[in-house]
């Protein structure tokens, strides 16, 4: 089958025409024959069996039968009338009923001629009836493509209103099969088809639309899901391999005095095995002559900053500069203070550049960057300004990648002739399945153990009716010298309501924890940045015992003395948000607690989220549950919704197929990156890139 035929505009298909073509385009994105062939059914109705009337059951299910209509009458009812036909076969009789379109049906029904009818059966007043059945003369039914199981296609209200029913869609696809003789070009190599015992492309396409039975349908689904995931993985992995081949990176082959000095004498604690493994992976990248493009993921508090710092020391040892970009000023400040403290005894020059940096200070930073005096620059988006130019930037670290777009990462690249090594860090654990698809072009390192001596945070769920006991618990903790966070949900749509919730909460806390015995900080989105920072600083210095806040504190404030996190209306938060908030405590040596407060009315999803939080501290387990609850689109946040626009595969349910697809894509590219020995795969990939780029799948 010539691939180009599949690029024929859909209007040319018999039965479509310009008007229908326009509707198919706007409603389902169907522009070509190819798009229609890839409109896969949502579900199937089993039409492999014909029932006799005396075999019908009162199950309200869809069945088909063969028989004749022997009479038709109009029956008056309270509102309007209905058309009733008596339908018989050799085992009994039943009624067919129509409430709409009666005139047309009455004129077109033939008496005493065999029909095949299909529809839902109702049992009423001692007999069966079928409202608005699908009907086809037996002689026409026998001529059509024999459909064992009837496909049900995606549809919209507008399609139905324009007369493009499921039946019409099915007929159009049948017409397409006639025009193409049902022959489709094979897209996988004979070796793969044989090794995985797959059916051919043509068989798969036929059986996804017109399966004879359940077994053939399952084979067709597996083959098409594998193919879809295989080509996505092929493109991601090829992009990564070509990147390494093409884009030369600086070679940091020298482990010098700073790195050794820090490792031997200034490490605040022994590195965990996971940290050691990750440092090793990064060092291998930095000495490989290719540009590093690595994602470092690790739970809150797993020690990513130390790994980032050691990577920067490697850059400085090789006479390069390093920068670290964070999404907020608070976080940039925190990285700056933390790293300054760690290297205070080493001869390193570090500066901080944010929106608040004074003009006179900026001037010094710009000069020292250009003459090479400055080793490390930490900051916010300010690092991307055109004025900021480096003498020799060798390493760029981006924290909380999902808050920066790809375009912003690219801006860092163009600060040099040779792009710097890139290390992207995130404390939002990404399930393996999603990481393979979203960040398939990055190498991934994971820190999956917490530093020793950290006590796991105890998490409990309490209802509003237990509030007095919770307040008593807060008093006991404050008496021990600890600090408390109380967080209220932020639901952007109703800022006024959020603000009211927060203020009501603040007032009730202030009543129960009165001045002068207790000092309370409050932080919310309506405050000026300077006021926010002032309140945060008071809390960090221990001048206030309680911080009442909306989720602005989600990322990054490090107060080791804060040991209790109370999350109000916890059912209104997503799982990853709850996990991030919980990570604000548990940073010191004391036992920390997270208390999830809710009302009594909870949806089943909310219950699952709360139970997950109480039962585990493992960010990866939490991310897996979150992915199952929310699906991949939501997980990456609104700016990346529709993360994977897949036609047939499901990244969660088809996790095993995804792993198989990735394994085979990796294996093939490893031995044959140009796909010269795999002409069929190369051709299919070229066509896919030409007509439907992978980045339509991945936002």
CATH of the domain at 561: 3.40.50.300
Task: Say what the pTM is.
Answer: 0.67
Contact 53, 34 (CB under 8 A): no
- Whether residue 463 is found in the same domain as residue 596: yes
The answer to which of 81-85, 146-150, 500-504, 590-594 has the lowest mean pLDDT is 146-150
Is residue 273 a part of any domain in this protein? Answer: yes
- Whether residue 394 is found in the same domain as residue 489: no
Is residue 439 a part of any domain in this protein? Answer: no
Half-sphere exposure of 384 (CA within 13 A, CB side): 17
- pLDDT at residue number 653: 76
Is residue 631 a part of any domain in this protein? Answer: no
Query: Checking DSSP bridges between strand 92-98 and strand 134-137, what pairing results, if any?
Result: unpaired
Is residue 447 a part of any domain in this protein? Answer: no
Domain closes at, from 116, 145, 174: 145
- pLDDT at residue number 402: 55
- Whether residue 91 is found in the same domain as residue 156: no
Write out the residue range of the structural domain in which residue 281 sits.
Answer: 257-286+302-426
Task: Tell me: pLDDT of 547 over 90.
Answer: yes
Domain closes at, from 127, 145, 163: 145
Task: Tell me: pLDDT of 263 over 90.
Answer: yes
- Whether residue 274 is found in the same domain as residue 333: yes
Rounded-to-integer distance, Cα 171 and Cα 281, Å: 56
- Whether residue 512 is found in the same domain as residue 587: yes
Contact 313, 259 (CB under 8 A): yes
| Number of structural domains in the chain | 5
- Whether residue 371 is found in the same domain as residue 405: yes
- Whether residue 328 is found in the same domain as residue 413: yes
Determine the 3-state secondary structure of 419 from DSSP: coil
Across the chain, what does the average pLDDT equal? 87
- Whether residue 22 is found in the same domain as residue 77: no
- Whether residue 42 is found in the same domain as residue 164: yes
The predicted-structure confidence for 19-49, as pLDDT tens digits, reads as follows 999 999 999 999 999 999 999 998 888 777 8
- Whether residue 168 is found in the same domain as residue 227: no
Cβ-based burial of 5 (10 A; exposed 0-12, middle 13-18, buried ≥19) = middle
- Whether residue 241 is found in the same domain as residue 272: no
The predicted-structure confidence for 242-253, as pLDDT tens digits, reads as follows 888 888 889 998
Contact 271, 306 (CB under 8 A): yes
Angstrom CA distances, 236 to 369, 626, 676, stand at 35, 24, 18
- pLDDT at residue number 38: 93
Is residue 225 a part of any domain in this protein? Answer: yes
The predicted-structure confidence for 161-182, as pLDDT tens digits, reads as follows 888 999 899 999 999 999 998 8
Rounded-to-integer distance, Cα 107 and Cα 100, Å: 14
Is residue 431 a part of any domain in this protein? Answer: no
Angstrom CA distances, 36 to 64, 171, 231, 674, 697, stand at 27, 12, 20, 31, 17
Task: Tell me: pLDDT of 697 over 60.
Answer: no
CATH of the domain at 178: 1.10.150
Domain closes at, from 411, 426, 441: 426
- Whether residue 156 is found in the same domain as residue 112: no
Contact 636, 402 (CB under 8 A): yes
Is residue 448 a part of any domain in this protein? Answer: no
């Amino acid at each position: 089958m010539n691939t180009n035929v599949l690029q024929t505009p859909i209007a040319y298909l018999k039965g479509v025409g310009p008007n229908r073509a326009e509707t198919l385009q706007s409603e389902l994105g169907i522009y070509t024959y190819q798009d229609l062939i890839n409109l896969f059914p949502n579900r199937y109705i089993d039409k492999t069996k014909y029932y006799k009337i005396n075999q019908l059951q009162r199950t309200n299910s869809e069945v088909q039968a063969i028989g004749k209509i022997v009479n038709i009458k109009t029956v008056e009812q309270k509102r309007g009338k209905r058309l009733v036909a008596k339908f018989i076969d050799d085992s009994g009789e039943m009624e067919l009923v129509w409430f709409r379109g009666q005139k047309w049906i009455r004129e077109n029904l033939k008496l005493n001629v065999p029909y095949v009818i299909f529809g839902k059966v109702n049992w009423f007043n001692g007999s069966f009836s079928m409202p608005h059945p699908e009907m086809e003369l037996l002689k026409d039914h026998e001529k059509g493509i024999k459909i064992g199981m009837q496909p049900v296609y995606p549809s919209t209200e507008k399609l139905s209103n324009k007369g493009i029913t499921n039946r019409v869609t099915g007929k159009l696809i049948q017409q397409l099969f006639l025009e193409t003789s049902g022959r489709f070009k094979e897209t996988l190599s004979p070796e793969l088809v044989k090794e995985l015992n797959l059916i051919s492309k043509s068989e798969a396409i036929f059986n996804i639309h017109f399966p004879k039975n359940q077994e053939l349908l399952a084979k067709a689904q597996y083959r098409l899901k594998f193919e879809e995931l295989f080509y996505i993985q092929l493109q991601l992995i090829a992009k990564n391999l070509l990147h390494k081949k093409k884009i030369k990176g600086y070679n940091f082959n020298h482990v010098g005095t700073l790195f050794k000095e820090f490792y031997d004498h200034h490490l605040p604690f022994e590195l965990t095995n996971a940290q050691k493994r990750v440092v090793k992976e990064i060092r291998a990248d930095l000495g490989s002559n290719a540009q590093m493009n690595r994602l470092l993921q690790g739970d809150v508090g797993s020690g990513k900053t130390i790994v980032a710092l050691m990577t920067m020391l490697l850059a400085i040892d090789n006479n390069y500069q390093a920068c670290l970009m964070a999404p907020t000023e608070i976080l940039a400040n925190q990285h700056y203070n933390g790293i300054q403290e760690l290297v205070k005894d080493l001869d390193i020059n570090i500066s901080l550049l944010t929106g608040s940096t004074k003009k006179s200070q900026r001037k010094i930073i710009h000069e020292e960057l250009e003459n090479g005096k400055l080793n490390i620059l930490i900051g916010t988006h300010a690092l991307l300004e055109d004025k900021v130019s480096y003498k020799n930037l060798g390493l760029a670290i981006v924290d909380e990648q999902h808050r920066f777009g790809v375009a912003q990462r690219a801006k860092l690249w163009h600060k040099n002739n040779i792009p710097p090594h890139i290390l992207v860090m995130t404390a939002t654990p990404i399930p393996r399945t999603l990481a393979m698809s979203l960040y398939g072009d990055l190498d991934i390192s994971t820190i999956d153990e917490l530093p020793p001596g950290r006590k796991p945070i105890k998490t409990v769920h309490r209802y509003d009716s237990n509030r007095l006991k919770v307040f008593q618990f807060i008093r006991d903790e404050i008496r021990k010298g600890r600090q408390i966070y109380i967080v209220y949900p932020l639901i952007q749509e109703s800022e006024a309501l959020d603000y009211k919730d927060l203020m009501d909460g603040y007032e009730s806390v202030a009543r129960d924890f009165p001045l002068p015995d207790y000092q309370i900080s409050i932080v919310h989105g309506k405050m000026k940045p300077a006021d926010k920072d002032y309140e945060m600083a008071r809390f960090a210095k221990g001048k206030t015992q309680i911080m009442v806040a909306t989720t602005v504190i989600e990322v990054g404030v490090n107060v080791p003395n804060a040991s209790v996190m109370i999350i109000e209306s916890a059912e209104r938060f997503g799982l990853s948000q709850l996990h991030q908030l919980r990570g604000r405590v548990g940073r010191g040596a004391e036992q920390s607690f997270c208390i999830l407060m809710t009302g009594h009315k909870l949806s089943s999803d909310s219950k699952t989220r709360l139970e997950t939080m109480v039962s585990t501290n493992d960010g990866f387990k939490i991310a897996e549950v979150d992915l199952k609850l929310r699906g991949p689109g939501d997980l990456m946040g609104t700016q990346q919704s529709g993360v994977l626009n897949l036609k047939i595969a499901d990244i969660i349910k088809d996790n095993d197929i995804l792993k198989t697809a990735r394994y085979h894509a990796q294996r093939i590219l490893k031995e044959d990156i140009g796909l010269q020995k795999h002409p069929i795969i190369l051709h299919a990939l070229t066509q896919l890139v030409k007509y439907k780029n992978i980045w339509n799948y991945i936002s």
